[in-house]
Amino acid sequence: MDELLHETPYLSISYNADIPTLIVKWVGFTSSQQFRDGIDKVFEFMAEKKITSTITDISEHKVISTEDQEYAATRSVEYTQQFGNVKRALITPQDVFARFSIKQVNAQVSKQDNQDRRFFGSIEDAKEWLLEG
């Protein structure tokens, strides 16, 4: 069962102790400040819960700027350097431009760090992958 840790109109963060994983859901447009504050909140909970896997549902999230993509990628790399590798399941965005944004983030992360990131069509499929090992 998922425990809700944080909720705003554009971001919810839950914790599933059974997997264990952090489940992050982004919705709609976010300003740069909202996005960065949300990213910081995600990594705060990750450190607090000692997270080694995440599911990020960006199926309803809209495009983020190149600078915000870089910010997210940098925070991700910093976290893995401090706490170790994280398996990351991403739920594919419906918006074609948002899909491009997330591919850019993944490319930036790949240049800096070798993380296990995979795309899924649903949270259920992502949970199955995380439970496999």
Q: Residue range 1-7: average pLDDT?
A: 95
Q: If pLDDT is split at 50, 70 and 90, which confidence band does 15 have? A: very high
Higher-scoring residue by pLDDT: 34, 61: 34
Per-residue tokens: 10: 């554009």
**Count of other CB atoms within 10 angstroms of residue 81:** 11
What is the pTM for the complete model shown?
A: 0.85
Higher-scoring residue by pLDDT: 76, 94: 76
The pLDDT tens digits for 90-111 are 898 776 665 556 666 666 555 5
Q: Determine the pLDDT at residue 49.
A: 94
Collapsed DSSP state (helix, strand, coil) of residue 131: helix
Cis peptide bond N-terminal to 20, omega within 30 = yes
Q: Considering the domain 2-127, what is its CATH architecture?
A: 2-Layer Sandwich (3.30)
Where helices occur in 14-57 by DSSP H, the ranges are 32-49
